[in-house]
A and B are shown apart, each in its own frame.
Chain A
Amino acid sequence: MRTIRYILQKEFIQVFRNKTMLPMIFVLPLMQMLVLVFAATYDLKNVDIYVVDNDLSETSRELTGRFQGSPFFRLHDASFDLEDAENSFKREEADFVMVILQGFERALVREDEANVQLLINAIDGSKASLVYSYAQGILSGFNKAVIAEWKGLPEFNPPRRIDSKQSYWYNPELDYKWYMAPGILAILVTIIGMFLSGMNLVREKEIGTIEQLNVTPIKKYQFILGKLLPFLVIALFDLAFGLVIARLVFDLPIVGSLPLLFGFAALYLIGVLGLGLFISTVTETQQQVMFLTFFFMMIFVLMGGIFTPVESMPRWAQLLDRLNPIYYFMRIMRMVVLKGSGFSDLIDEFVSLILIGLSFLSLAIWRYRKTN
C-alpha cells in the first residue's frame, strides 16, 4: 500500500506541474458543456422553405403566410419556376419546397378541394419526416380555418373524438439541453480519464523511465493502480465541475443522489481507465495510444445512446452494447440526474459495470510486462 502512495504522490506532482494539464482539466469541461450541449440538439428550427406559387391568389398567399409565421419555417425564396426550386435544393439552400398550382383558389371554391405539393429534402430521413409532420400541422390548421370561414358554424353533430391530454414527466418543458447535458458529461469524463491515463503510461515508455521502474521490486498491480487512481480522481472532479456548470447554465435539475452518481461514476471509470491503460501496455508511442483510444471512443460514444436511442438500433448492435461501458453510464447519468432513480433501479447496470471494470482492469494488469 505504501508503494502505491509513493506512486500517487509522484503522479499528482507531475500532473499539476504539467502546463497543459490544468487548462485541460478546467477548459475542456467548460468548452464541452457550453458549446456541445447547445450544438447537439434535435430541436427542429428554421427550416428553409422555397415557395413556388403559380396561383398568386389571396388564399395561396395566406397559406404561405402561415408557414412564415411558424417558428419552424422561414421563407428562403420564391419563384414561379419549379426548376429554380430544384436548383435551390441542389445548392443545399432550401429544405422544403411547396408548390401551389395555378387555379388553387378556384378549385378550393368550386370543388371544395385543392392540392398542394410538398417536396422535402429527405437526405436526413428523420428530419424530413419531422418537417413533413410540422407542415401537415400547418396545413390542417389552415384547412380548419378555411372550413370555419367558408362554411360558417360547425356542424350540429360533430363526430365523436377521443381527447388526450399529455403530461411530460422528468423534463416537462422538453428542454433538449437537459437530455444532452448528462450525455455530454459522460463523454467528457471518458475522454479525460481514458486519454490521460493511457498517454501517461506510454509517456514513461517513451522517455525510458519505465525501464527504471521495471528493475524495481514494484508489483504489477501497484503500478497499474498508481497510474489509475490519479486520473480517476481528476475525472470525478471534472464530473463535479461539469454538473455545477450544467446546474448554473442550463438549470439542470439534479434529482437523484449525488453519492450514488459518483459511486457509479467511479465504478465506470475503473473500467474505462483500465481499457486506457491496457491500450498503453500494447503500444509504444503516444500517437498509437491516441489512435487506438480514439477508435474505441468513437464506437463507444456513437453506440452508447448519447445521440441516438439504443432501442432503435438493430438487435445485434443492442447486444454489442452490452459490452459498451458508456451505454450503462449514459443510462445511469440520465436516470439518476433527471429521474432520481435509486440503486435498486440500477442493479443491472451495477453488475454489468463491475464485470466490465474487472475485465479491463485485469487485462491491463495482466498485459503490463516488467519483462519482455
Chain B
Amino acid sequence: MNQNTPVITVKNLVKKFGSFTANDHLNFEVYKGEIFGFLGANGAGKTTAMRILCGLSSPTSGELTVGGFDVYRQTEQIKRNIGYMSQKFSLYEDLTIAENIRFYGGIYGIPVKQRKEKEHLLLKKLQLESERNKLIASLPLGWKQKLAFSIALLHDPKIVFLDEPTGGVDPITRRQFWDFIYEAAAEGKTIFVTTHYMDEAEYCDRVSIMVDGRIAALDTPDALKKQFNSEDMNGVFLQLARHARNGD
C-alpha cells in the first residue's frame, strides 16, 4: 500500500435531493491498492456517495477526482478506469455466462483474442468452465456474485466499486469473495466497498463510517477499535450509529 498516491480525492462533497442532504461535506482520500470500507446504516448516504464517484449521479457541490480525473468534466475517462458492481444484480439473466462476458468485453472495446484469453482464465478460476453456456438465471446466487465481480474486472480497471457485494450470500461464499478482493488489491487495484457486515469491515485496510450523511469516523479497523474502546467493529459501529437520525 502506498500512502502517498491518492486515487480518489473527495473534498467537501455535498449531495442534496430537494431539502434532504444525503452527503453533507464529505472529505476523504483513497490510496492506490488499498481496500477502503465504506460503512453506515441504511440511508446513511453510502450508496449515494459511491454512485457519484462512479459518475452515475452528479454531486451538488465539492471537488472530486477519481483516478486523477475530474468527476464533473471527465466522466467518460473515469468510466474507462473503474469497475462497478451494484447492489442490484447486473448481469443479464437471459444470457449465458459466455454471452455476458462477450457483451461486457465488447462494449469496453477489449480485442477479441484478449477477451477469449480472459474468459478462459476467469472461468478456470471460478471453476465454471463446464457451465460456460448456461444461462445466468440458472446459477446459484453466490456464483452469480463472484461472476459479476470477475466481469466487473474484465477490462482491468484501476479502481473497483462494490456496493454491498455479499448481500444475501452464504458465509463460505463470502469468504471466497473476499479472497478475490484481496487478490485484486494485491494486483494494485483499489477496492472501494460498502458493506453491512462488521466482520467484513475487519478485512478492510481502512474504514469510514457514515452517520446521517457525514463521515463520523475514518481510520484503520484497529485504530477505530482502540479509539472507541471496543473489542470489535460491531461495537464501534453501534456507538456511532446509535445517535443517527435516519438509520433504521
Contact = CB atoms under 8 A, between A and B. Distances in A.
Interface string B82-96: 111010111111110
Interface in B170-224: none
Interface size band for A: 20 to 34
A17 interface: yes
Interface string A1-35: 01101110110011001100000000000000000
Contacts of A370: 55-56, 75
Q: Tell me the dominant secondary structure on chain A's binding face.
A: helix
A371 B94 contact: no
Interface stretch (A119-127, A206-214, A303-311): A206-214
A10 B88 CA distance: 20
B102 interface: yes
B103 A9 contact: yes
A218 B95 contact: no
Interface stretch (B104-112, B118-126, B139-147, B231-239): B104-112
Contacts of B84: 211-212, 215
A6 B107 contact: yes
A372 interface: yes
Given A370-B55, A370-B56, A208 B92 contact: no
Interface in B39-80: 54-58, 75-76, 79-80
A216 B55 contact: no
A200 B94 CA distance: 13
Contact of A3 (B58, B86, B92, B106): B106
A209 B57 contact: no
B99 interface: yes
A171 to B, nearest CB: 46
Contacts of B80: 217
A350 B99 CA distance: 40
A372 B102 CA distance: 28
Given A207-B93, A209-B92, A215 B57 contact: no
A91 B240 CA distance: 77
B102 A212 contact: no
B79 A13 contact: no
Interface string A343-372: 000000000000000000000000000111
Nearest to A11: B103
Nearest to A208: B88
Interface in A214-235: 214-218
Contacts of B88: 207-208, 211
A211 B54 CA distance: 10
B56 to A, nearest CB: 6
B52 to A, nearest CB: 9
B90 A212 contact: yes
B127 to A, nearest CB: 24
B103 A6 contact: yes
Contact of B75 (A18, A208, A211, A371): A371
A10 B99 contact: yes
A9 B99 CA distance: 9
A50 to B, nearest CB: 60
A216 B108 contact: yes
A13 B99 contact: yes
A216 B103 contact: no
A215 B95 contact: no
Given A13-B95, A216-B79, A371 B90 contact: no
A203 to B, nearest CB: 10
Given A207-B88, A217-B108, A6 B56 contact: no
A9 B104 CA distance: 12
Contacts of B109: 2-3, 217
Contacts of B75: 370-371
B86 A212 contact: yes
Nearest to B52: A371
B95 A10 contact: yes
A274 B84 CA distance: 29
A113 B57 CA distance: 87
A209 B88 CA distance: 8
Interface string A191-214: 000000000000000011101111
Contact of B56 (A10, A18, A214, A217): A214
A204 to B, nearest CB: 9
Contacts of A10: 92, 95, 99, 103
Nearest to A214: B56
A3 B80 CA distance: 14
Contacts of A214: 55-56
Contacts of B55: 214-215, 370-371
Contacts of A18: 94
A209 B89 CA distance: 7
Nearest to B71: A371
A215 B161 CA distance: 10
Given A13-B99, A18-B94, A216 B107 contact: yes
A218 B79 CA distance: 9
B62 to A, nearest CB: 15
Given A17-B94, A18-B94, A211 B108 contact: no
B90 A209 contact: yes
A200 to B, nearest CB: 12
9 contacts: A3-B109, A6-B102, A6-B107, A9-B102, A209-B92, A214-B56, A217-B80, A371-B57, A371-B75
Interface of A: 2-3, 5-7, 9-10, 13-14, 17-18, 207-209, 211-218, 370-372
Given A10-B103, A218-B107, 6 more contacts: A7-B103, A7-B107, A207-B88, A216-B104, A217-B109, A372-B58
Q: Which 5 A-B pairs have the closest CB atoms?
A: A208-B88, A6-B106, A212-B90, A215-B84, A217-B79
